[in-house]
Chain A
């Protein structure tokens, strides 16, 4: 009897469940719900006569997401290996569906969502693509093994995500998702390959290209004659450098976000006290929620969020480093890259550190399909974590 319990105890402690990661995710989700309610209740009442309209929709998505997460966490992650290629093809096939009338959902002049009949939920194919690509690349890294060190293997790994990236950018006109998908892929290849030189050169090339684009954008907006249409991405770059130059046009959202951050100061105005959410700041509960956090909770609230994201990345690093196999490690690296890139880009946009582009803040921003897929990814990470044998640590 005694021996049996001891063995059971031993068995339990043999495998690892990352409660810290789960706690951080739950904290971010709960915090996000509070902030969504705070940021959206005013507008929700005006539009739907229901202050909790957005919060309730988000809560539904989170509940569904949590169920999926628990499901995924309890399935051994190797189960998904066989679906990798299928997932890759399906995500490629889903993206053009946004263009089909009746199925695609238009918002702000872009088609980025597909209506799921019967559920009343909108699905963003780009989210599906992110998840499927992480899975597909993780499988591919294991497949080509040491070949990733050759130039041919490296190029293959870089070229594999490109069709999806091109689709996302060209069909849904969603530059930010394209950048995120490309970024995730590069990070996974970076981890898979022992080489540094290639990636440093790639980084330098990207930096040079970025500078060139900025210079080109500035000169073209300056040379543009009165009334002449400037490429809208160029316009965004120009207003990034000086948001007050076009305070009512492209610089409007950025400037309103900066007003929010500035008026929050160090301690913030207090939860619920934001002024900017009263129709001043577009997308307050969505892409710009971080500026409402700054306004209500101040620098300290913002730093708390930054720390939570760093801790989340740290937990995922620990899991990736201790993953039982390369496939598990690559899955975790993909998810880690996804969350890191998205969080960094979102906060950079809100603080006007980079030109404005629509990116939501993982776990916190309003957005059902985004939070569901993020929770599925967390489920994968937890599934990897459960396979870690404690004696290996």
Chain B
């Protein structure tokens, strides 16, 4: 029995223990409150991150529509096959089925199936039918996710303009690259709750963050014009056995490109297919070089010596500076001496005495050289820059090539003379077309472009694109005189093959020998616009290395004529 005296101190001691323990429990309670309330968000967020595995859902890429709403680039539903390592029950069967159905090597599939990762992609861009078939096997650990694949309904049409996309929905060339951010959209996510081994917790369900579809891109290209131009270019390529044929059709008033053809084109649905006749057993690098060549857009990526079509620029500069008038008289003996160099006219016999309009109609080299010399190196160079020839056009396609031009300080009279009739420097076809447009449209340098606007899924315009225009490149008067001269070139001069019954056409031909001179390789080209007094459409046709007759007037002008015979009525131009 406890004595009363003892009992008191024992009781006090026991009470002390109890109170101290209660105090500690209270402290632990405070600690819990801190963890459950103040720190809860921090730890809960980390826990959620730990518990969820994400799978991305491809966003539908925006379509590309031509000016009439025809779909040029679309999406097709395809499947992506992946495996989730932790959910595999019968890896051998999975390897067997996947390698058989997907026509992949067993090693390739095995490597991916046996790799320890949360999710491994086996193959993407699998046809929906095949994807459904694999889904029907109902293999544990195999995921079939539907997504979209780019599909081009017209295969080769405008291939170098539209471009194509890669496996990750990213643009690789063409408009698909430039407008990638609009077309791409926002990929969504499927968040699946899993346990620590990666096995899905079925009761927890999925959390979906819906993808946002990309915006549709409306471009100025006209499918019909593009198709017809392509047909003409292919014809010329075949009959003239040329290396390549390019045709650009544009609205000279606002820079909208109606057609941009570079034959041979390639199949957008099989962009990695090597052209027929390619030798086999090429190295990867050689194959890629061939493909890069195939994908080049000659109108924009390549420069050339424009030749006589460039006389339009020389003439406009001369008129604008006042060093010549329409009444100025020139005498052509068949050559001209520049410093100590004799430069021949293409007509060795000479054109004799002629007024300024006739020098252009005859495409007389000595006369235009005279105009250039009157301007002088400084004057000519000033106009070259003022017309915007030193800058890029700013067209909304990737890889535009810059102008290759003499440095001003290196330019003597001989160089000046050659530049005046379009030789010894290089520009792109789009640059030439743009510059000529600004000379004939009243002096406004427009920006050539394809992108017009983006449209959302509901059909509302999301963004209208505007392009810079610089004014007063040349005066209205000069512009009007140039239109008159160029109309005469087609009506009665060297460009007569570009004439279209019932329409007023202005234009200029060119036949330029490619470097090195004397190789017998020529580039035949023709620039033509209509109607001559109020240009609504301008086109350039360039035939690279035609066999047989190689004159621009014989080879290139008929192409533009045939084009105009069809598209002028189509465009409603009188």
Q: DSSP majority for the A interface?
A: helix
Q: Is A122 an interface residue (CB 8 A)?
A: no
Given the interface pairs A278-B195, A303-B29, the reply to whether A259 lies near B2 with Cβ below 8 Å is: no
Task: Decide: B21 and A261 in contact? CB cutoff 8 A.
Answer: no
Task: Decide: A299 and B33 in contact? CB cutoff 8 A.
Answer: yes
Which chain B residue shows the least CB distance to A264?
B36
Given the interface pairs A306-B29, A310-B22, the reply to whether A260 lies near B47 with Cβ below 8 Å is: yes
Interface segment, B5-13, B336-344, B370-378, B379-387?
B5-13
Q: Is A333 an interface residue (CB 8 A)?
A: yes
Question: Which single member of A260, A303, A320, A325 contacts B32 (CB below 8 Å)?
Answer: A303
B56 to chain A, nearest CB (A): 23
Task: Decide: A187 and B17 in contact? CB cutoff 8 A.
Answer: yes
Q: How would residues 18 to 36 of chain A score, 1 for a CB under 8 Å from any chain B CB and 0 otherwise?
A: 0000000000000000000
Given the interface pairs A294-B32, A294-B36, A326-B10, the reply to whether A279 lies near B22 with Cβ below 8 Å is: no
A12-70 residues at the B interface, CB under 8 angstroms:
42
Give bound CA distance, A353 to B17, whole Å: 20
Q: Is B364 an interface residue (CB 8 A)?
A: no
Task: Decide: A279 and B197 in contact? CB cutoff 8 A.
Answer: yes
Q: Is B130 an interface residue (CB 8 A)?
A: no
Q: Is A175 an interface residue (CB 8 A)?
A: no
Q: Is B18 an interface residue (CB 8 A)?
A: yes
Give bound CA distance, A294 to B37, whole Å: 12
Interface segment, B38-46, B121-129, B227-235, B250-258?
B38-46
Task: Decide: B50 and A262 in contact? CB cutoff 8 A.
Answer: no
Residues of B within 8 A of A276 (CB): 47
Q: Is B282 an interface residue (CB 8 A)?
A: no
Given the interface pairs A317-B18, A320-B14, the reply to whether A261 lies near B50 with Cβ below 8 Å is: no
Q: Is A337 an interface residue (CB 8 A)?
A: yes
Given the interface pairs A275-B51, A323-B2, the reply to whether A317 lies near B15 with Cβ below 8 Å is: yes
Give bound CA distance, A309 to B47, whole Å: 29
Q: Is B48 an interface residue (CB 8 A)?
A: yes
Task: Decide: A261 and B36 in contact? CB cutoff 8 A.
Answer: yes
Give bound CA distance, A303 to B25, whole Å: 10
Residues of B within 8 A of A279 (CB): 195-197
Q: Is B104 an interface residue (CB 8 A)?
A: no
Q: How would residues 230 to 264 of chain A score, 1 for a CB under 8 Å from any chain B CB and 0 otherwise?
A: 00000000000000000000000000001111111
B252 to chain A, nearest CB (A): 66
B23 to chain A, nearest CB (A): 10
Give bound CA distance, A258 to B13, whole Å: 35
Q: Is A348 an interface residue (CB 8 A)?
A: yes
Residues of B within 8 A of A194 (CB): 9, 13
Task: Decide: B29 and A259 in contact? CB cutoff 8 A.
Answer: no
Residues of B within 8 A of A326 (CB): 2, 6, 10
Which chain B residue shows the least CB distance to A340?
B21
Q: Is A336 an interface residue (CB 8 A)?
A: yes
Question: Which single member of A191, A302, A313, A344 contacts B36 (CB below 8 Å)?
Answer: A302
Q: How would residues 23 to 67 of chain B score, 1 for a CB under 8 Å from any chain A CB and 0 otherwise?
A: 011011101110111011111101110110000000000000000
Task: Decide: A325 and B1 in contact? CB cutoff 8 A.
Answer: yes
B50 to chain A, nearest CB (A): 7
Which chain B residue shows the least CB distance to A328?
B2
Question: Which single member of B17, B40, B204 contacts A191 (CB below 8 Å)?
Answer: B17
A82 to chain B, nearest CB (A): 20
Task: Decide: A263 and B47 in contact? CB cutoff 8 A.
Answer: yes
A303-356 residues at the B interface, CB under 8 angstroms:
303, 306, 309-310, 313-314, 317, 320-321, 323-326, 329, 333, 336-337, 340, 344, 347-348, 351, 353
Which chain A residue shows the least CB distance to B38?
A262
Which chain B residue shows the least CB distance to A309?
B25
Question: Which single member of A266, A306, A313 contacts B18 (CB below 8 Å)?
Answer: A313
A171-195 residues at the B interface, CB under 8 angstroms:
187, 190-192, 194
B218 to chain A, nearest CB (A): 48
Which chain A residue shows the least CB distance to B8?
A194
Q: Is B201 an interface residue (CB 8 A)?
A: yes
Question: Which single member of B10, B18, B39, B193 contacts A329 (CB below 8 Å)?
Answer: B10
By Cβ-Cβ distance, the 8 closest A-B pairs, closest first, are A262-B43, A278-B195, A279-B196, A259-B47, A263-B44, A299-B36, A191-B13, A263-B47
**Given A191-B14, A263-B44; 11 other pairs, CB 8 A cutoff:** A259-B43, A265-B40, A265-B44, A280-B51, A294-B35, A306-B32, A325-B2, A326-B10, A329-B14, A351-B35, A353-B31
Query: 7 interchain pairs (CB within 8 A)?
Result: A190-B17, A302-B36, A306-B29, A313-B18, A320-B10, A320-B14, A353-B27
